[in-house]
Structure 1
Amino acid sequence: MPDTSDAEGLTVGQASARLGVTVRALHHWDEIGLASPSMRTAAGYRLYTAGDLERLHRVVVYRELGLGLDRIRAVLDDSTADVPGALRAQRAQVAERIDRLQRLGAGLDRMIDAHENGLLLSVEQQAAIFGPGWNPDWPAQARKRYGNTAQWQQYAERSASRGPEEWRAVAEAVDGLDRALADAMDAGVTPGSPEANGLVDRHREVFASHFPLTRQMQVCLARMYEADPAFAAHYDGIRPGLAAWFRRIVDAAARAHGVDPDTATWE
């Protein structure tokens, strides 16, 4: 309870300091008739009495509990008002807000984790989804190499919303594409052919599960698949020469769309 022993005749500034509310709030409550000063000085200045301060304190208490000003007016002025009912209704709204905030906090934790670690999967889950050839150190290596890029941010945003089943679907799409590429190479599909160009487009669609891939970026990626020992080992492990063949079909498709593979950059 506020100390009202010396509260007889407080100015709005003094009342503001006593209650810890702004002068603007006191003026507003006065304007709408919720809590007004009831004394006047000889010069016409309005002052708050001890009784006024007591009402103001009750307004502050209920406002801090989240009640709107109309509901507070009813609680203070309507003798038939169901105060416990109003407080229970407010408690229910507070519980809903707490639940929303908890979900928001959990979402923020996942987004932070995704930006820092890439995959929100345990080592065991990664092995089960991506197979025995998967290296659980790869996400950390990718974060170190690409963590400051817009593409890593896009990847993290997608990763934050994925669980094991969503990642399993991504892995299955990648496996299906790898088999289709190997089968096409075995069948003698030539770079620049409609079938080869369709596979290039399919690669961009599958890769979009990580981040959007332009044709220029795809050229750079295909070049890395062939040059990087780890990527080359993956593709050539599926079919000898697959990494080089994939680069050729990507280059041919890029030329057909006005992109020079020799000058393509990551953009």
Structure 2
Amino acid sequence: MPDATHADGLTVGQVSTRLGVTVRALHHWDEIGLARPSLRTAAGYRLYTTGDLERLHRIVIYRELGLGLDRIRTILDGSTEGSAADATADVSGALRAQRTQVAERIDRLRQLSAGLDRMIDAHERGLLLTVEQQAAIFGPRWNPDWSAEARQRYGNTTQWLRYAENSASRGPEEWQAVADTVADFDRALGDAMDAGVTPGGPEANHLVERHREVFASYFPLTRQMQVCLGRKYEADPGFAAHYDGIRAGLATWFRRIIDAAARAHGIDPDTATWQ
């Protein structure tokens, strides 16, 4: 490397400023032989010539297009060997391959954006269904305002977040399957009460476990939380009307079998909390 003066070229710092590339990157490219300065001053400072700058500028362009350093080296160094047609074909092929990767990445990002939009809507609205869809799936007694009321009451809880995550991944068909499962369980409750199933017995306890499994379609339900729900089913006019509409007195019977199962697991229903 010949001795030179600062007038013959640009220092690393000057090139960094001119091209918007970090000094660290320039040093790295020098170390791996991708872009080495052609001159050195008597004091040992490396200087980049006009030709060096042209190569660096091309590196920056290809880097912005997403090409890796090894691929860039092949393009730049390969252009000095063989025919011009071969060099052009190599560059064109690399750029086409990169364009394909970029298009695939854009498609993935669009899908991610759409998923984020659904997640935001589900967190804010709960059900991502029209009023007409809700009525068709959950029946004429369904109140579309219930989801908004639940959001106001439970929107800051972990359970609401899990519910929103589940809701974001469901369409009308998935919600219909959930509604059908709930309806089957409700019928089983009514049939069990009619058959005289005793709270605390094997059949009643099986129904309590089945309730937790069914409810997991919304969010995981601990036994203590289930006790709290059982109390709500009996005390809340809306829930009580739903269960008592299936069988007279079913809301109270349902609460009793939940309480009995909780006691069997060492939980005092009178002191159970939402946890």
**TM-score, scaled to structure 1:** 0.96
User: 2:40 — aligned with what?
Assistant: 40
Residue number among 203, 213, 225 corresponding to 2:211 in the alignment:
203
The Cα of 1:55 is off from its aligned counterpart by 0.7
Structure 1: runs of 5 or more not aligned = 1-5
> 2:82 matched to which residue of 1?
none
Distance across 1 between alignment mates of 2:117 and 2:8? 52
SS at 1:246 equivalent = helix
Contact kept? 1:7, 1:53, Cα under 8 Å: no
Distance in 2, Cα, partners of 1:74 & 1:245: 77
Q: CA 1:41–1:171 in 2, change beyond 3 Å: closer, same or farther?
A: same
Report the AA paired with residue 89 of structure 1.
Answer: A
SS in 1 for 2:127: coil
What is aligned with 2:9?
9
Structure 2 residue aligned with 1:236 = 244
Cα contact 1:10–1:47 (8 A) shared by 2: yes
Could you say if the C-alpha distance between residues 29 and 7 of structure 1 is closer, same or farther in structure 2, counting changes exceeding 3 Å?
farther
Q: What is the CA–CA distance in structure 2 between the aligned matches of 1:213 and 1:189, rounded to whole Å? A: 23
Paired position in structure 2 for 1:265? 273
Q: How many angstroms does 1:200 deviate by?
A: 0.7
Cα offsets for 1:76-123 (capped at 9, x unmatched): 111344111110000001111111111111111111111111111111
Kept after mapping to 2: 8 A contact 1:8/1:50? no
- Contact 1:111/1:157 (8 A) holds in 2: yes
Give SS of 1:40's match: strand
Q: Give distance in 2, aligned partners of 1:125 and 1:52.
A: 66
Residue 183 of structure 1 pairs with residue 187 of structure 2: no
Aligned length: 262
CA RMSD of aligned residues (A): 1.3
Task: Quote the sequence identity (%).
Answer: 82
Query: Does residue 97 of structure 1 match 2:144?
Result: no
Aligned-partner residue type, residue 91 of structure 1: R
SS in 2 for 1:44: coil
Aligned partners of 2:50 and 2:25: how far apart in 1? Answer: 18
- Residue 29 of structure 1 corresponds to 29
Contact 1:7/1:50 (CA < 8 Å) preserved in 2? no
CA distance in 1, matches of 2:28, 2:174: 53
Q: Which residue of 1 aligns with 2:200?
A: 192
1:125 corresponds to: 133
CA separation in 2, counterparts of 1:69 and 1:225?
A: 65
Partner residue of 1:135 out of 134, 143, 154: 143
Equivalent AA in structure 1 for residue 14 of structure 2: Q
1:190: Cα distance to partner?
Answer: 1.1
Q: Which amino acid aligns with 2:227?
A: V
- 2-side partners of 1:259 and 1:200: how far apart? 14
**Aligned mates of 1:257, 1:73 — CA distance in 2:** 68
Question: Alpha-carbon deviation of 1:128?
Answer: 1.1
When the two structures are superposed, what TM-score results if normalisation uses the length of structure 2?
A: 0.93
1:145 is aligned to 153
| Distance in 1 separating the partners of 2:183 and 2:245 | 13
Following TM superposition, the consecutive aligned residue runs of length 4 or more in structure 1 with deviations greater than 6 angstroms are none
Q: Which runs of 5+ in 2 are unaligned?
A: 1-5, 80-85
Q: What letter corresponds to residue 186 of structure 1 in structure 2?
A: D
C-alpha contact (below 8 Å) 1:7/1:49 kept by paired residues: no
1:27-55 superposed Cα distances (whole Å, 9 cap, x missing partner): 01111111111111121211011111111
Aligned to 1:55: 55
Match of 1:77 in 2: 77
SS of the aligned residue for 2:181 comes to: helix
- Measured against aligned partners, the alpha-carbon deviations of 1:154-176 in whole angstroms (never above 9, x if no partner) come to 11111111111111111001000
Distance 1:193 1:186 in 2: 15
Q: State the distance in 1 between where 2:151 and 2:191 align.
A: 33
